[in-house]
Amino acid sequence: MSKFCIVYVELGSNDLCGCQLAEAVCQNLLDLVRLLLSWGAPKVVVGEILYRGKMREGGLTLETYNEKVSFANQRLKKEALTIANVGVWTHDRVRSAALLSHDSVHLNTRGMRQYWRSVKGAVLVSLHK
């Protein structure tokens, strides 16, 4: 893994939709981060988990899902501070409902463009830290 300068990881949104606790999703993601570092990744950037605008019928309520997302993002930020060469990236410009597709879960074309710019920003900022 030494040929990479940064590994960008963004996982967890579908796991939070199920019966897994937010704590477990965070722990699994942090375990993956530690594994990547042990394999030689110089830096790992974890992208925050994005909120949704709608949930499938029969599953979690939107409020419960978004509460789990808030908890997970806060925990990831807190824990990342304790691990060398790890950061959490916040997608500040990808939080508008106008960027969601008709299903209110996935990003539309404009949303994907904003998301791509945000991930690019995460990598560029991390290169210079």
Q: What is the pLDDT of residue 2?
A: 57
Q: How far apart are CA 98 and CA 44, in angstroms?
A: 30
Q: Domain limits of the chain? A: 7-127
Q: What is the pLDDT of residue 19?
A: 79
Closest CA to 87 of 8, 22, 27: 8
Mean pLDDT of 121-125: 93
Q: What is the pLDDT of residue 12?
A: 86
Q: Tokens standing for 57?
A: 């019928």
Confidence of residue 18 (pLDDT cuts 50, 70, 90): confident
Closest CA to 94 of 25, 10, 29: 10
Give the residue with greater pLDDT, 59 vs 110: 110
What does each C-alpha distance from 123 to 30, 64, 115 come to in angstroms?
Answer: 19, 31, 13
Mean pLDDT, the chain, as a whole number?
A: 91
Of 3.40.710.10, 3.40.50.920, 3.40.50.1110, 3.30.70.1150, the CATH number of 7-127 is: 3.40.50.1110
Q: Tell me the pLDDT tens digit for each residue of 75-112.
A: 999 999 999 999 999 999 888 889 999 998 899 999 99
106-109: long-range contacts, CB 8 A cutoff, minimum separation 24 = none
Contacts of 79 (CB under 8 A, 6+ apart): 26, 30
